[in-house]
Amino acid sequence: MVLTECRRLLLAQSPRDQRHPGSMTTMTQTPLPTKPWLSHYPEGVPENIDISGYSSLIDLFEGSFRRFADRNAYLCMGKALTFAQLDIQSQCFANYLQTLGLEPGARVAVMLPNILQFPIVMLGILRAGYVVVNTNPLYTARELEHQLNDSGASVLIVLENFAHVFESLQGKTPVRHAVVTSLGEHLGLKGKIVDFVVRHVKKLVPRWSLPGSVTFTQTIKTGSRHPTRQVILTQDSVAFLQYTGGTTGVSKGAVLLHRNILANVEQVDAWLAPALHRRPIEQLVFLCALPLYHIFALTSCALVGLREGGLNILVPNPKDLPGLIKLLSQHPDLHIFPGVNTLFNALTNHPAFAKIQLPNLLVSIGGGMAVQKTVADRWQQLTGTPIVEGYGLSETSPVACVNPTTIEHYTGTIGLPVPSTEIQILDDEGLPVPLGSPGEVAIRGPQVMAGYWNRPEETAKVMTAEGFFKTGDIGFMDQNGYVKIIDRKKDMIVISGFKVFPNELEEVISRLPGILECAVIGVPDEHTGEAVKLFVVRKDPSLTEQQIQAYCKEQFTNYKRPKQIVFRSELPKSNVGKILRRELRDLN
């Protein structure tokens, strides 16, 4: 009876907030009667954001081009690109695309690392009225074929290092136009040296042949000779097809509209404001070590940076830790550092990082995967700045929850829902559970995708009738509105009827001295249904299985302890460094 009454109250409708019409989605909204997180918002952060002043993302970009024309927008391998240059070159690329005779809303795939060409082509695609299909340059031929066919992309912009992968797919995809660029093509004289080293010294460019392909430079020249054809876009036009990582099945394209991205840019901008008001800042400087083709860096670095008139320092290869640390030493003016747990962990375990001084660092943002306390503590000890952990998905553009940027210490939660966003925790029947109880995290807000590309049945599985997106993550919300993620629903291990969450085990085991990284999966067991299997990358080569077992005996009840321990030189990771438990399960 009490549970029924609680559910009735949680599902009760309240009047729609009419003050910020631009912040609402087109779905029918049924607000929760209480929003405990609002009373814990930092001073100056609004309850809602308003995007009604923009007709599309183009308004946002072109406003920044006018206001910040003389500022540097991007910096890569020593070469800067100003807002004015970004304006001209992206328009030229847009003009080039319009000469190809593509249909309205055509999809254009971008298969590039973090180089100057990326923001130029991304903005050019949008200005031409087309849709950006962000594509991982490290895709295998099978993965690339699936994404190109699923999206229906008719144009591909690819780095020459990966052109051979696309070559193997000739005639198997709808792509009819290929633009091939190099790491050095936009770097001037220095670029010629870079390309020589990459091609002939490091031999990182396999032979390829794509008849009819053009270079990036040729597209800019072609576009400069053709007039701009204005296109009409609205907030409901499709901007990006952002493909999910495919860690739980076939990769699906999240349809992100102009209004979804506009909303999330404004949400992140509003959330950053308290930290930015701490001291006068002439220009915000972002370190963009995460790949721009991933939604985290795309929004939090590239697009928020454009909104703020900031400088994005692009890192083509963040796995080159000595190179990244050297870059950090050259930029003591750095303000914003988005990263994932594995990147923060690798840096803090590198001896050279201890010598780095980042006196102007305002916010270190952790996302993409759970941030472990041991990593967060080391990061704050070395940089003086806590990791502000947040949470989001490709389907939410991505940011849904973030800790306040004014925190003094790592909290162990993913923070509070951002403005204009609601979070519910749902039980197996899709009904909200009381505060403090675990369930599936569900998100409603203007940043939530329109659906999966050409997959209405998949969209229906994840969207509730009230417009909440079901994330597949298990978590709970406390009395103050802070959300804690326990684990992925599909990663949960069931041992003799007891639920075991890998995140919990990994968090505790990672504290054992001598462990660099670890991952936990469930494996079949004839007695208990499933058992815990632990994979370890050692920091101390002398660390033994017996030492790990002894430590786990102290920390966990019997059924949670690993029954198998495997030492590896590395763990499989996604494009942003997220450890892929699925690949570890596939090894069994």
- DSSP for residue 432: B
**Which residue do the tokens 């992100």 mark?**
256
Whether residue 14 is predicted with pLDDT greater than 80 in this model: the reply is: no
Would you say the CATH fold of 83-233 matches that of 2-32+39-54+255-481? yes
What is the model's pLDDT at position 277? 86
Which residues are registered as beta bridge partners of 181? Answer: 159
pLDDT 10s digits, 301-351: 999 999 999 999 999 999 899 999 999 999 999 999 999 998 999 999 999
pLDDT 10s digits, 417-459: 999 999 999 999 999 999 999 999 999 999 999 999 999 999 9
Single out the residue of 147, 115, 114, 113 nearest to residue 133, CA to CA.
Answer: 147
Measured CA to CA in angstroms, residue 517 lies from 243, 510, 511, 564 at distances of 27, 7, 10, 16
pLDDT 10s digits, 146-180: 999 999 999 999 999 999 999 999 999 999 999 99
pLDDT 10s digits, 118-142: 999 999 999 999 999 999 998 889 8
The residue type found at 226 is: H
Tell me the C-alpha distance between 66 and 109, whole Å: 28
Tell me the C-alpha distance between 192 and 201, whole Å: 13
Tell me the C-alpha distance between 145 and 208, whole Å: 17
Report which secondary-structure segment, H or E, holds 82: strand 79-82
What is the model's pLDDT at position 586? 87
Residue 558 has φ and ψ, to the nearest 5°, of -55, -45
Confidence of residue 373 (pLDDT cuts 50, 70, 90): very high
The residue type found at 194 is: V
What are the tokens at 524? 């079949």
Report which secondary-structure segment, H or E, holds 194: helix 189-196
Whether residue 461 is predicted with pLDDT greater than 90 in this model: the reply is: yes
- DSSP for residue 197: I
What is the model's pLDDT at position 81? 98
Single out the residue of 22, 59, 448 nearest to residue 232, CA to CA.
Answer: 59
Tell me the C-alpha distance between 109 and 154, whole Å: 8
Whether residue 3 is predicted with pLDDT greater than 60 in this model: the reply is: no
Tell me the C-alpha distance between 145 and 138, whole Å: 13
Which residues are registered as beta bridge partners of 311? Answer: 285
Single out the residue of 290, 414, 340, 394 nearest to residue 580, CA to CA.
Answer: 340
What is the model's pLDDT at position 525? 86
Tell me the C-alpha distance between 57 and 72, whole Å: 20
Whether residue 15 is predicted with pLDDT greater than 70 in this model: the reply is: no
CATH architecture of 83-233: 3-Layer(aba) Sandwich (3.40)
CATH architecture of 496-586: 2-Layer Sandwich (3.30)
Residue 18 CB coordination number (10 Å) = 7
Alpha helices in 386-493 (DSSP H): 456-462
What residue spans define the domains of the chain? Answer: 2-32+39-54+255-481, 83-233, 496-586
Tell me the C-alpha distance between 84 and 445, whole Å: 33
What is the model's pLDDT at position 480? 96
Cβ burial, residue 576 (10 Å; 0-12/13-18/19+): buried
So what CATH class is 2-32+39-54+255-481? alpha beta
Sheet hosting strand 564-567, strand order edge to edge: 515-525, 529-538, 564-567
Single out the residue of 29, 5, 40 nearest to residue 478, CA to CA.
Answer: 40
Task: Please give the mean pLDDT across all residues of the chain.
Answer: 91
- DSSP for residue 31: -
Please compute the mean of the pLDDT values over residues 483-491 and round it to a whole number.
Answer: 90
DSSP per-residue codes, 354-366: GG---TT--EEEE
Tell me the C-alpha distance between 334 and 353, whole Å: 15
Report which secondary-structure segment, H or E, holds 147: helix 141-151
What is the model's pLDDT at position 443? 98
pLDDT 10s digits, 238-260: 999 999 864 445 689 999 999 99
Which residues are registered as beta bridge partners of 425? Answer: 441
Residue 185 has φ and ψ, to the nearest 5°, of -60, -30
